[in-house]
Structure formats: C-alpha cells, structure tokens
Structure 1
C-alpha cells in the first residue's frame, strides 16, 4: 500500500512538472511560413505569395482563398505538397531547414502546363 501511494505521488509530481513546461513544436518545422511560388515555364502568373502553417508536420494554407492545400514535412525536412484551386492543380517537392527552404513545382491550369520553383521563410 505504501509503495502504491509513493508511486502515485511521484507520478503526480512528474505530471505537474511536465504540465508547467512551455509548449514546444512537435516537429522542428512547425510554425508560420511565408512561401513564394515562382513560375519559370508556362503561362501561369509569374509569382504568388502564400502564408502557410505547419502543425505536427502537416502543411495548411493560412489564407482565405478557396484552395485545397495538402502537404507534409518529413523528419529530415523533405516536403511534398499538392495545391488545387478551380480547375488548376500543382504539386511541389523540396526541403525545409530551420528557417528557410525551397524546391520545385509542376502543374496545369486552364492556360496549360507550368513549372517553377518555390522558396519558404519562417515567420
């Protein structure tokens, strides 16, 4: 009986210490990012800038435009994202570091095939 009470008290102390620690990101890439998408080939708009949020490695669009933005950041910072809006769709890959990242994308729209590069900066 004493052993159980001692273990319960120790567990309560451990839980109270852990709950008082500041919250931390679940992945090193979690947080707000600003992404610039640049068209190098095709007739898509020349550049776009988006705010995205990464939570638990899942990439989400933070804006108000009607876009389906899906993506994931792997443990080593590898990124795979798919964006769709209206009749357009683009897929991007690349890598994130602690504060910056970049990669390439390819897609199609009502104006044809497009491709280019993207850069990201932590906010």
Structure 2
C-alpha cells in the first residue's frame, strides 16, 4: 500500500515536471521579448544626427526588418548588438533602456547614445 502511494506521488511529480518542460518553449525566453522603439543620437562624427527604428527581441535575439542586425539581450537586460556595421551596448530595465554605440560613416568614426522603449 505504502509503495503504491510513493509510486503515485513519484509518477505525479514526473508528469508535472514533464508538462512544465513541454510547455516551456511556448513561454517567452527573455523578459525583454517584444517590439522596441529605439532612438539613436550621434554625439561625435558625421553619421546621421538622429534616427529611430523598431527592433524586435525574440527569445533574447535582436532583429529588424530591412537591416543587418545581430545581437542579443541577456536575461539581466544587457544589450550587445551589431546594426549595419555599428556596434551598440547598454542596459534594458523593465520597459526602457539606454546605452552607447559606435560606428563609421565614409570611414570616419562616429559614436553616440541610444534610448529604447518597449512598444
């Protein structure tokens, strides 16, 4: 009788764990997944003075329509991204974030700051 209860408890725990593992991929992998409106401001160099675009974070990976984007946002909100040859890093927290970027225009170095807000 006691072995039946232990076996039933073990089997129930196993089913609960298996269900959680199967359901896990349906849950966002990053607390920062979603659409982000990003404004980039040039502080030094001859790059465009200010631009805005929408980036998408999916499972912590960053992408954008019509742009060469690669990079990630860690679970702690740390951003590391390459966009059309420029490099950005910074921090997201909740629904906002900011950081620095650097790149070049016609071979002349540029750099500045960026700010983001979740849409």
Interval containing the TM-score (normalised by the shorter chain) = 0.7 to 0.9
How far off is 1:24 after superposition? 3.2
Q: Residue by residue, what CA displacement relative to the aligned partner does 1:66-122 show, whole Å, maximum 9, x if unpaired?
A: x211111112111101112xxxx2101100111000000011121611100000100
How do residues 56-75 of structure 1 correspond to structure 2 at under 5 angstroms? Answer: 56-61=59-64, 63=65, 65=66, 67-75=67-75
CA-atom RMSD, angstroms? 2.7
* Long gaps (5+) in structure 1: none
Tell me, what secondary structure is at the counterpart of 1:29? coil
> Which structure has the highest helix share of the two?
2
Using the size of structure 2 for normalisation, the TM-score is 0.77
* Long gaps (5+) in structure 2: none
CA contact (8 A) 1:71 1:82 kept: yes
How many residue pairs get matched?
112
For 1:110 and 1:25, locate their aligned partners in 2 and report how far apart those are by CA, in whole Å.
39
4+ runs deviating over 3 angstroms: 6-12, 17-20
Q: Residue by residue, what CA displacement relative to the aligned partner does 1:17-40 show, whole Å, maximum 9, x if unpaired?
A: 7689xx532111111111111111
Tell me, what secondary structure is at the counterpart of 1:91? strand
* 2:95 corresponding residue in structure 1: 99
